Structure 1
């Protein structure tokens, strides 16, 4: 599967504004900064750098204002701002200083101040030199041109000069590349990537986000073996994970993952452990991207309104569906899902992300067992459901509601995402087959969803138990809590799922009758 075959000539033209149109708040901020310069007779040039300039020229809102200073540190200038505010009788603002942290791509100290309810970052212009085995450069004050050339991409190297109210394109090609929709590095790409390999991942992210074309020279450098080694050896996994998460949360996650795969970077980014069972083939990356592709198409065609978080985790879960049954042995010789390793070690993302994606995979597998019974009129026999064998003794017609209810209580608001994944895997799980059968799979999803809603199971995880643990101990004269109480709580939950209109009295009556039968048997 390829989603990157488009050419520059076939893409729609990029609409780039001739001038930057400032919002009223931006005018207030920049006017005040110019007043500070005038008040102290400062010759400092103030330039807004990077993404704000790019986005404003594209007509997009941006609230991330980074101001570069040519002859002083950010903290010094913020102190000047406060001195000016004192002179005018206005309230001063707190100054936050973010120390340099090269591992987190913060190479210089940054000062932060809130002006007109907007956070502004101030940092000095810089030039940088890199050593061979580190992505941490030696920093020094630089000119605006030096600063522009050390940026990752030409479209991110543009400045807005606050002093002159004009856009500055000091590489001489930032505006042209923005208009042409090209992803290009200011300096030769291999040199740029070896200096800071994180720029490879950022180039992919911006290419996908804006649907811009990476030039061939850049793609060749990104796929270079030296660059791959540098990505693995010189970048902290937290930074890789942050960039990947922005891609997956963005508007074109499939395109971004396809680029990563096509450049041979998939297993560099999503590095698995060495002792996988079954072993992971090099070609599996394309299968993963294929699943994410059909997963996204499936989601759009069904029309589910997911929250941003639900969509993000669904995207990860669809990407890693081919790895859902792959495990490895950890240091304690315990079998652990490879997906867990990728989230916690390769991407250094939240542990809850790993847990949530694995829960989506597990619930999708359980849904697979139940789908045939939802689609048919056959009564469910719990012997056919491997993941839940101990269902209370109720008519067979009620068992489906119990098992669906247990599933939804386990996955909660993510049940539609899990069902969507399950319908991707239903009957035939090859990517090519799924791509040709999305309409049929959408019908399966709709039928199961309607059955769940008809059974009144949406929000079933919010249902409170009719009888709590203390009441169980008292009514059954157990004396104390423990596994026995937990077992009764499990059974009573199933009873409530089978009989949603049942009363407390009926629930207690059933429990005491079951307890008596158990005593008789023993």
Structure 2
């Protein structure tokens, strides 16, 4: 086994592994069994049809977990043909009509199988034929593809625990690799065939090995670790797999509660450069990927309800939990924060490029990660200003103004961003992977940094700034222009910024109070007023005659 932390390998020994069907699953199996009987009766010369549930559903049920995604493997026809025939059978027997979606194969991106998907009895069901493929030595596109046997199909799957079948007719688990049940019981991630061959069939399986090892806290078999380090495998992961598929796999890793374990394994196996890809001319640079795991690990315990309760109210803590996948992704991107490059007239940061091009995630994902990472220095400065003493007088006004501007710049992400910054700050302390709140008083450095962030969050709450990102100026631009006797123009945006800064310091102010401020002798407003008055009036456009 690979010499790396496994977080206590979860073994199933001592607990009998068996599949207990729900009422819906029982009804589904009965329907599918009835369909095969009907098929045999109406096609007496055809080979008998055997249906099996394959993959993750079998694994999860054996582990005592429920699963609503079911893959039905067919041995005599394509998944789409099976789904269409089943729909006709159900309609003939008075069942509700169900829509079938055909998903075409894309072999050049290692998506070899055509599948069909439908929704039945509250379950998401995919239909796919058992496969047997032969590859050319220089290509990942199958030279020959035909209906396979269960043994051939099982050996072409990613890992043994995902290669188990549940025979719908016998209601028995079938382990055609001969290792799946043992590996599931002993907590081992192993490929059915040699790892090198398995990964060359579909290099994305590298990431799937990492994801399932992290999800179940299983150990990765040595053959897998060695194959991950082979140059042809690493090249195939970069060139043979669409970045969209990589992005989907990374997203699944980071949405699981064991996301920090996945990040650690990606660092350990040196997979970061292959997944979080930068532009070509930056790919030879050295980055401290280990810091990503440090941040993710710290975020995990900071996001625990007991820790969040020390920072903020339970209502606001929900935002942190919701955005935790964004924070984990930002942790992975943090090593590239100082990378910038130009595309046309636009300047991109390394994290923006990785999200957009390396992972093909959404613009929303890119924007959120950019806010989390780029505002880290800003919030550090705000936190440091809270450390010496509680602000008062001019210092308090300046603090309210600057904190309000920061919160408005990141919107409802401000609290997750603050927790992320705290996570980054705590990495140098090399704290344990799991830390109870009771340890806060025992560690002086931890207590000091945590208390500083507590003060900042409390300051925002005490001065009514927690939701200032929803505020609008009490006066519109036209109203301000009328009060100051100026024309609306470019300076108006600056004046409204001053008005909003005033509102940060007067969160309970009325419209009348705001009018009084705008017409007062405030030096900033008066300077901007004079600037607006000195602007030359734009010439009016002449109407075309004719």
TM-score by length of 2: 0.84
Distance 1:153-1:362 versus aligned 2 partners, 3 A rule = same
**Is contact 2:110–2:241 with CA below 8 Å preserved after alignment?**
no
1:506 aligns with 2:506: no
Match of 1:288 in 2: 292
Match of 1:448 in 2: 456
State the shift of 1:298 in Å: 3.7
Distance 1:59-1:424 versus aligned 2 partners, 3 A rule = closer
Partner of residue 179 from structure 1, selected from 181, 185, 188: 185
Aligned with 2:370: secondary structure? helix
Distance in 1, Cα, partners of 2:500 & 2:210: 49
Partner of residue 336 from structure 1, selected from 348, 351, 356: 348
Partner of residue 348 from structure 1, selected from 334, 353, 360: 360
Partner of residue 358 from structure 1, selected from 367, 370, 378: 370
Match of 1:88 in 2: 93
**Is contact 2:40–2:49 with CA below 8 Å preserved after alignment?**
no
**Is contact 2:491–2:528 with CA below 8 Å preserved after alignment?**
no
Partner of residue 470 from structure 1, selected from 475, 478, 494: 478
Distance 1:91-1:348 versus aligned 2 partners, 3 A rule = closer
Deviations 1:24-83 (A, max 9, x none): 111111111222222332621111110000001001111111101110122322232233
Distance in 1, Cα, partners of 2:374 & 2:470: 21
**Is contact 1:292–1:315 with CA below 8 Å preserved after alignment?**
yes
Distance 1:259-1:429 versus aligned 2 partners, 3 A rule = closer
Match of 1:128 in 2: 133
Deviations 1:408-436 (A, max 9, x none): 1122222222212333455x874649998
Distance 1:265-1:45 versus aligned 2 partners, 3 A rule = same
Match of 2:11 in 1: 13
Which is further off, 284-293 or 504-513? Answer: 284-293
Match of 2:500 in 1: 493
Distance 1:503-1:219 versus aligned 2 partners, 3 A rule = same
Distance 1:379-1:121 versus aligned 2 partners, 3 A rule = closer
1:310 aligns with 2:342: no
**Is contact 1:152–1:192 with CA below 8 Å preserved after alignment?**
yes
Query: How does 1:91-490 map onto structure 2 within 5 Å?
Result: 91-102=96-107, 105-137=110-142, 138-276=144-282, 280-281=285-286, 284-300=288-304, 302-303=307-308, 304-306=317-319, 309-324=322-337, 326-332=338-344, 335-377=347-389, 395-426=394-425, 430=428, 432=430, 437-479=445-487, 481-490=488-497
State the shift of 1:202 in Å: 0.7
RMSD: 2.8
Q: Which runs of 5+ in 1 are unaligned?
A: 381-393
Distance in 2, Cα, partners of 1:433 & 1:124: 49
Distance 1:434-1:476 versus aligned 2 partners, 3 A rule = farther
**Is contact 1:298–1:438 with CA below 8 Å preserved after alignment?**
no
Q: Which runs of 5+ in 2 are unaligned?
A: 42-47, 309-316, 434-442, 535-546
**Is contact 2:401–2:504 with CA below 8 Å preserved after alignment?**
yes
Aligned with 1:48: secondary structure? strand
Which is further off, 257-266 or 267-276? Answer: 267-276
State the shift of 1:211 in Å: 0.5
**Is contact 2:320–2:416 with CA below 8 Å preserved after alignment?**
no
Match of 1:388 in 2: none
Distance 1:430-1:356 versus aligned 2 partners, 3 A rule = same
Distance in 2, Cα, partners of 1:433 & 1:56: 36
**Is contact 1:267–1:285 with CA below 8 Å preserved after alignment?**
no
State the shift of 1:405 in Å: 1.2
Partner of residue 55 from structure 1, selected from 40, 53, 60: 60
Distance 1:231-1:517 versus aligned 2 partners, 3 A rule = closer
**Is contact 1:183–1:212 with CA below 8 Å preserved after alignment?**
yes
State the shift of 1:335 in Å: 4.5
State the shift of 1:293 in Å: 2.5
Deviations 1:300-342 (A, max 9, x none): 4733544554101111223333432x12333448653111121
**Is contact 1:328–1:338 with CA below 8 Å preserved after alignment?**
yes
**Is contact 2:277–2:358 with CA below 8 Å preserved after alignment?**
yes
State the shift of 1:519 in Å: 5.3
